[in-house]
Chains A and B, each alone.
Chain A
Amino acid sequence: GCCNSCRRELFVLTYGALVAQLCKDYEKDEDVNKYLDRMGYDIGIRLVEDFLARSAVKKCRSYSETVDMIAQVAFKMYLGITPSVSRSNTTENEFFLILENNPLVDFVEELPAGRTSLCYCNILCGVIRGALEMVHLAAEVNFIQDRLKGDDFTEIGITFLKKLEDKKHKRNK
């Protein structure tokens, strides 16, 4: 009866316990944030294989298509949510994911005491960055707004950088 939702909760509970442990180990919020991002990166570079195997998507031909895929296919598949996507009208190649609800914080009402700069879900940024790098797209990914910090909504920013060059192109330089 309870098994399916409990499995999703398993990930959320585990993530919460991990964050709690990191808060014990690291005094500075930035250190916890960095650690979560790094772990996310390691997960992202491996998860992308799983994603491509499960989703049989065709190759994206633009940054915009890529971000749509992240929001509508990947987030849906792994977290059961579909963030809405928008793009910056001032900065080229910058996109935003707005998370209406976020299962990672299902059991979190507020940040732990004294942890005002903690990016609780920072692992997500690392995962996205790692996954993109595996498909040869370099990007900066971070939280722009965070409900847990008192903002109106939770928003992730993805800014694509120059495309990673293949080794064979480097040889010609």
Chain B
Amino acid sequence: MADSPLFQALHMEMAHALCEEQEKGLSVLEGVGFRVGQGLSERLTKEMPSFKDELDVLKFLCKDLWVTVFKKQVDNLRTNHQGTYMLQDNQFLLLTQLSNGKQYVEEAPKFLAFTCGLVRGALSNLGFDSTVTAEVPVMPSCKFQVVIQKS
């Protein structure tokens, strides 16, 4: 049961159906991810002690959240210690369903939007405003850039 492919199937279908009109679709999909990120982060952190700092929160995203959603941890976390973080996943689950062909790199934004929202939503639930963008250097790896907004 833990290995249910329903989430992936639903995500794939949302990426296609919601993004038929690309521009608006990407932000709609990001918004859906945002709501899920808020809810999921709430449930995951229920029994956890509070985080000691921003970096701790990012580590939680890279471990607990990532394992729950993507069945593995983020492979690499980097930061400039001034609010910018780079999360790298070398075998991003939502891209591994796609072929490795070059044409899919153009389609990639559709398959990243939900996750950008998810990360932004999780951070929002934990008290941080952020912007999250993503890029695919080479399939199926993915880099997410998180910039925490200073209040």
Contact = CB atoms under 8 A, between A and B. Distances in A.
Interface of A: 1-4, 6-11, 13-18, 20-21, 25, 35, 38-39, 42-43, 46-47, 50, 78-80
Interface stretch (B36-44, B51-59, B76-84, B105-113): B36-44
A125 to B, nearest CB: 15
What is the predominant secondary structure among interface residues of chain B facing chain A? Answer: helix
A15 B35 CA distance: 11
B138 interface: no
A16 B32 CA distance: 9
Interface residues of B, number: 31
Contact of A11 (B4, B12, B43, B44): B4
B32 A14 contact: yes
Interface of B: 1-2, 4-7, 9-14, 16-18, 28, 31-33, 35-36, 39-40, 43-44, 46-47, 64, 67-69
Given A15-B10, A21-B28, A46-B12, 10 more contacts: A3-B67, A4-B1, A4-B2, A6-B43, A6-B44, A6-B68, A11-B4, A21-B32, A43-B9, A47-B5
